[in-house]
């Protein structure tokens, strides 16, 4: 949160309502639930608006209906995503947005996941679930309608499997990730979805069976440790009777540890690009960056500040050194954090030696360097087709765009890269 940002000011009065609630309270609750960086509500002692009525606070007789100002400062893409929802809460109000520069940002110390938090405190409760007999077209429609990356499969309310984008691609015959289907032009999306009507495949045939679950009453620390140990991005959450109660994602854990119970909606990426398009034409320039010696609290805030859930590590000249991911942060947050105990745990983890070394290094990290992993790099003039091959050829989800001297110019994630190529069938 150091550098360019947006400042939103919302001018209200105490009697403005959003439904049955004070408008300022509804706005503050929405911003907090959606992981906004920060907002403050000020009460003024004197002011007037377009109506011309003067509202004044006197020392003895303080009238009602005093002016209020909600000031919210955040990353540009977060403001763009949340501002329409804020405006929907307002009646008569004045909203201004201006550019600002964050010179100093001192986040609270990162103390790990509070022991009192449970899975129920962090999980997403509004979950789309399907039954084993659900047909492919209906399954895709549900995932597409809710923007879900995975859907639990339940039988009599209990989770028996989970269907992810990867399952649909590998076993469902779907040609495009569901999160990219929403980016298609309506006619193209309709044609692709209509082709799924002929499929006899069901959720039970495509799902990954016997998913790892977690009780809603379990400690959030235990869930984080389980996700780290098993390298899981999400866990179906069950109640005392074993029925599906929600889903806990890696993002849920990180945002709750940061004190923000909700998540920010994902912003759409540019669309309609040919495979020969240069990377520089589609890259985004607002990726969070940290220096190698940046302490963990600042790294933590940088990673969760945007939908990328990553922060690039750069030197003072902005040469790209690596990337810090949400997975690396989870390694750091998940107990046990003591070196000796964690060493014993990672020896049993179901991934390679290099991954175990990285997990142990992450668990004892103190700066961005300790959490940093490799990130692929590309020049701005590289064709989109070649950039996609770079990302899909490894386990990376982010591509750093650099100049001839290795200095950061911008970034692209998988969604940005794939849309152009897939929409045009290879250009």
DSSP-assigned letters across all residues of 261-326: -S-PPPPPPP----TTSBGGGT-BS---EE-TT-BHHHHHHHHTTSTT-EEEEE-TT-BEEEEEEH
Model confidence at 238, pLDDT cuts 50, 70, 90, reads very high
Q: What is the CA radius of gyration of the chain?
A: 23
Structure tokens, 167: 């399952």
Find where tokens 């790990």 sit.
112
Q: In terms of pLDDT, which residue wins out, 262 or 251? A: 251
Is the pLDDT reported for residue 34 higher than 50?
yes
Model confidence at 66, pLDDT cuts 50, 70, 90, reads confident
**Mean of pLDDT over the chain:** 76
Residue 247 is predicted with a pLDDT of 92
Structure tokens, 301: 């805030």
Model confidence at 268, pLDDT cuts 50, 70, 90, reads very low
The lowest-confidence range among 15-19, 254-258, 348-352 is 348-352
- Name the nearest CA neighbour of 232 among 354, 124, 150: 150
Residue 187 is predicted with a pLDDT of 73
Q: What is the dihedral of CA 345, 350, 352, 356, to 10 degrees?
A: -20
Is the pLDDT reported for residue 375 higher than 50?
yes
Summarize the confidence of residues 331-340 as an average pLDDT.
52
- How many residues are there in the chain? 427
The lowest-confidence range among 67-71, 104-108, 146-150, 259-263 is 259-263
Residue 71 is predicted with a pLDDT of 95
Residues 205-226: pLDDT tens digits?
Answer: 999 899 999 999 999 888 888 8
% pLDDT > 70, the chain: 70
All domains of the chain in start order, with CATH: 3-102 (3.30.70.120), 119-257 (3.10.580.10), 279-423 (3.10.580.10)
- Name the nearest CA neighbour of 385 among 371, 399, 373: 399
Model confidence at 99, pLDDT cuts 50, 70, 90, reads very high
Residue 156 is predicted with a pLDDT of 92
Model confidence at 197, pLDDT cuts 50, 70, 90, reads confident
C-alpha 369/C-alpha 312 separation (Å) is: 11
- For residue 176, give the DSSP letter: S
pTM above 0.95, yes or no: no
Q: In terms of pLDDT, which residue wins out, 355 or 71? A: 71
C-alpha 199/C-alpha 173 separation (Å) is: 9
Residue 139 is predicted with a pLDDT of 86
Is the pLDDT reported for residue 23 higher than 60?
yes
Is the pLDDT reported for residue 272 higher than 50?
no
Is the pLDDT reported for residue 244 higher than 90?
yes
Residue 185 is predicted with a pLDDT of 59
Is the pLDDT reported for residue 345 higher than 80?
no
The lowest-confidence range among 24-28, 284-288, 315-319, 368-372 is 284-288
Model confidence at 250, pLDDT cuts 50, 70, 90, reads confident
Q: What is the dihedral of CA 407, 408, 409, 413, to 10 degrees?
A: 150
- Name the nearest CA neighbour of 421 among 380, 389, 397: 389
Summarize the confidence of residues 245-252 as an average pLDDT.
85
Q: Are 362 and 404 in contact (CB under 8 A)?
A: no
Summarize the confidence of residues 400-407 as an average pLDDT.
91
Residue 344 is predicted with a pLDDT of 40
385 to 263, 268, 279, 408: CA distances (angstroms): 32, 20, 9, 20
Summarize the confidence of residues 39-54 as an average pLDDT.
67
Torsion-angle region of 170 (φ positive above 0: left; ψ -120 to 50: alpha; else: beta): alpha
Summarize the confidence of residues 149-175 as an average pLDDT.
84
Is the pLDDT reported for residue 241 higher than 90?
yes
């Amino acid at each position: 949160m150091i550098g360019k940002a947006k400042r939103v000011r919302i001018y209200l009065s105490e009697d403005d309502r959003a439904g049955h609630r004070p408008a300022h309270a509804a706005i503050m609750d929405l911003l907090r639930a959606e992981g906004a960086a920060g907002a403050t509500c000020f009460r003024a002692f004197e002011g007037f608006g377009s109506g011309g009525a003067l509202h004044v606070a006197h020392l003895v007789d303080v009238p009602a209906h005093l002016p209020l100002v909600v000031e919210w400062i955040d990353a540009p893409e977060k403001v763009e995503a949340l501002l329409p929802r804020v405006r929907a809460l307002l009646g008569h109000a004045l909203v201004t947005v201006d550019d600002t520069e964050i010179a100093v940002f001192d986040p609270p110390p990162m103390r790990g996941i509070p022991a009192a938090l449970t899975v129920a405190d962090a999980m997403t409760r509004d979950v789309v679930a399907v039954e084993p007999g659900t047909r492919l077209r209906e399954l895709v429609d549900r995932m597409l309608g809710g923007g879900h990356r995975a859907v639990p499969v339940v039988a009599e309310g209990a989770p028996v499997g989970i269907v992810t984008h990867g399952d649909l691609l590998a076993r469902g015959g779907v040609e495009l990730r569901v999160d990219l289907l929403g980016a298609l032009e309506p006619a193209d999306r309709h044609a692709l979805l209509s082709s799924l009507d002929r499929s006899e495949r069901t959720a039970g045939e495509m799902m990954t069976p016997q998913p790892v679950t977690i009780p809603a009453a379990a400690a959030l620390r235990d869930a984080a440790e389980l996700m780290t140990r098993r390298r899981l991005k999400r866990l179906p959450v069950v109640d005392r009777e074993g029925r599906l109660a929600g889903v806990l994602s890696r993002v849920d854990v990180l945002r709750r540890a940061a004190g923000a119970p909700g998540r920010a909606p994902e912003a759409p990426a540019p669309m309609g690009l040919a495979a020969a398009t240069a990377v520089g034409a589609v890259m985004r320039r607002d990726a969070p960056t940290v220096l190698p010696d940046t302490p963990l609290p600042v790294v933590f805030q940088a990673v969760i500040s945007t939908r990328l859930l990553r922060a690039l590590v750069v030197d003072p000249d902005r040469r790209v050194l690596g990337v810090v991911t949400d997975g690396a942060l989870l390694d750091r947050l998940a107990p046990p954090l003591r070196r000796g105990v964690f060493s014993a745990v990672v020896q049993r983890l179901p991934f390679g030696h290099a991954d175990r070394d990285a997990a142990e290094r992450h668990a004892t990290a103190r700066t961005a360097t300790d959490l940093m992993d490799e990130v692929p790099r590309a020049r701005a003039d590289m064709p989109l087709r070649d950039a996609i091959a770079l990302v899909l050829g490894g386990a990376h989800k982010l591509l750093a765009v650099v100049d001839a001297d290795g200095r950061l110019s911008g970034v692209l994630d998988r969604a940005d890269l794939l849309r152009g190529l897939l929409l045009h069938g290879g250009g």
